[in-house]
Chains A and B, each alone.
Chain A
C-alpha cells in the first residue's frame, strides 16, 4: 500500500517541477505492475530464483519510480543524474543508478572527442535506450543486459573518439572508446552465486543485493573497493550504417586481484573479464532486430579457494512497431560453468538455461502507456541444491504494467 502511495504521489509532486527550465531538464517515470508469477524464491528475497518477482510477491505493486536530471555548464559540459526508488528489501528509498558529467565539444570537423566522468553504464546494451537506461522494447531486458544492470557500473572515466561520417555525406559513423575505472570489484559474484537472471531491477550506486551470509546470495554492493583497488579498463568500438545498422563490441577487464582481501572491503575482489558484441538492425521504420553476445570469466579467492567460472549468453530480439503499438519477442540462452574445481571442492556451481519473452506495449498518450509481458525462464542452477531445492526450474512471470512518464 505504501509503495502504491509513493507511485501515485511522487509523479504528482513532479508535475509541479518545470519540465524544461532553460538548460535544466527534468523527467520522471513510474511503473505500477500487476504480477502473476510461479517463480522460485527471488534472489532479492534470499532465494535463487532468476526472476524479480516470485510466487510470494504477486499482485499489484510498485515496480519503480525514477527521476532524471540533465543540466549544462558552459555549453559543452553536461550533467546527468538518474535516481530510482524500487522500495524493495535491497534498496534505499531513493538511490542513484548513474551520475556523470560529459564534456562534448561541438565538432569542427568529422572527428569529435567526448569525455565522461562519474558513474555510468559501459556501452554494451543495444536494448536499453530509454532514459534511466531502460529497455525500449520490453519491461525486462535480456539476461546480458540484466546482468550489466546488476553488477557493472563504470566508476571512472571514458574517452570516446567519433568519426561523424554522415556529416561528410558518407553512410557510416565510427567510434572508439577507452575507459579506466575502479571500485567495481564485486562484479561477477552475483552471477556466480545466482546464475543469470532476467528482470528490470538495476543495482543502485549505494544499495546492496543479497543479505547475510546464511542466505543464498551474499551481501554485495556495486560500489566496492576491495583489496588493492586496481584500476580496470574496457575498450570499445561502434560502427553505424545510416540508421539501419549499429554494431558494438567491447572488451572488459576489471583487473581485480582475487588475493587482495581487505577487512575494510565488503567482499572479496572478483576478477572479471569478458568480450561482448551486438548488432541492431532496423530494416524499416516498423522493424527492429537486435542480437547481443557476451562471454567471459570471473575468478575469486574467496575463503582461500581459488575458483573461476566461465559465463556466456546471447539473445535474439525482434520488435515490430506500428503507431502506438509495439510487439516484441526475444529468445535468451545462457550458461555458467565452474572451471575444474580444487580437489577438496567437489561441488560444481553451474547454470544452464534459456528464456522466452513476449511483450506488448501501447502508448495511450505521451504521459501514459500500458505494457503486457510474459516471461519464461527454464534453468538448471546447481547451487539451488544447497538450499534444498531442485536444480531445475521453469519459472514464469506475467506482468501488466501501467507506465507513467513526465
Chain B
C-alpha cells in the first residue's frame, strides 16, 4: 500500500480519485458486502421457492436505468480525468462508458423486449453480450489499478484532455459495436449458452460463470494490493457485486425471470449506481468544505484589512501627539524671541523640548517597525516567569483596586523563550487588563490565573484566565477585529494589536471558555532550547 501523501501532489488531495477513504466509508463498504452475502444466502435458500412471472418490460426499465447511471458516472469520471490528467481515471471512465453502450445492445438483443425475438442477433446474442459486459468491465478495472500508481511521466496525460476523452469515447464505442456485431452475426456459430430464450444450458458455468469469477477475483486482488483512494474502495465493492451475480444467476434455477435472475438485475443496478452515489456524495461534501474554507479565508482577510486600518489609525494618533507638542513649543519659542527683550533662556529651553519630542516621534516610528516587521534583531531569550511577574506588578494597582485574587505559579521547569520582550510584556499586560475590566463589575469571586506550561512541540503556552462573564457567542467573530470593544471607554485596539504582535512571533492568540465561567486567552512562544532551562 502506498503512502497517499507521497504519491499525490498537495493540491490534488481533494479530488475524489485521490482522496483516502475515511473509517466510516470503509465500514459502509464492508457493510454493503456483508449485506450482499446475506441477500445471497436468503435468495438461494429460504426464498428460492418463490416463483416470479416473466415481465419483459422489466428488462427495458432495468437497461434504461443502467444506461443512465453508467453514462453519468462516466461523465463524472471524465471530468475528474480532465482535472487530474491521470490515464487510470480515463481507463475507468471508459469502462463505465463501455457498460453503458453494452447495456443498450443487451436490451436490443434480449428476446421479447423490443420484438418477439431478439432485435439483433439470435438467442445466444444477449447472453454473450452479458459475458462481454461482465468480463470486459473488470478488465478495465484491472488496467485502472495497474496504471494508477505509475510514475507521473507515464501516469499523466500530457496532450489536450478533450482529445483524449474524444478518442476514449470513440474507441469504447467501436469496441462495444464490434462486440455487438460479432455476437449478433455469430449467433449460430458461437458455443451455446442458452438452451432456449429463457433457460441456461449446462455450459453456463464454464462459458459465463468461470470467466466472470476469474477476472473479478483478479480485479479485486489487484485493487486490494494497491488500494488507496475512495474510488479504489468502491470499485472493490462493485467487483464483489459482479461476483455475487454469478451464483445468483445459476442457483436455485438456471433460467431467466427466476427469483435469482431478478435479484441479479437488482444487484447489477446497485453496482452501477453505487459508485455514482459515492461520487455525488463526495462531490457535495467537498463542495461544502470548499465553501467553508472560502468563507473562512474571506473573514480572515477582512479582519486583516481592518487590522491594517486600525494600525494606521493608531499610528496617526500616536504621531499626532509629539507633532502637536513640537508645533506648540515652537510657537512658544517664537514668542519668547519676539519680545522686545527676547527671553533667550526660555527660547533655548523650547528648542530642547522640540528636539526631545522629535526623538520621541522617532522612537515611535522605530517601535512601529519593531512591532510589525517582526524585527528579528530585537528578539532575545528570557525567562517567562519574570515577564509574568513584571506584567502582574505593572497591573498590581488595578488588581488591588478591584480586589482580584491573582494565581500565578512560577513554573521552574519552564524553558527560556525567545521573542521581543517589550512587546510580549505589552501583550501580557493588555490581556491582564482586559481580564480586570471583565471582572471589575462582578461581585462573585474574582480570580485571575496566569499559567505557563511547556508544550510538546518545543513551545511554551501562556494562558490568562479570568472569572468574568466570558465571551458572548455573538462577539466571538469580532473578538480580534480592531475597534471592537465591550468597554464604554475602550478604543478596541488592544486585542487586535496583541494578535498582530503574537502573529509576528509566528504564533497565534486564541481564547477558550473558562469553567465555570469566564474566558481564557492563550498564546504560545518558541522555547530558546528544547531542553528545560536550569532554574
- The answer to whether A and B interact is no
B: which residues have CB within 8 A of A? none
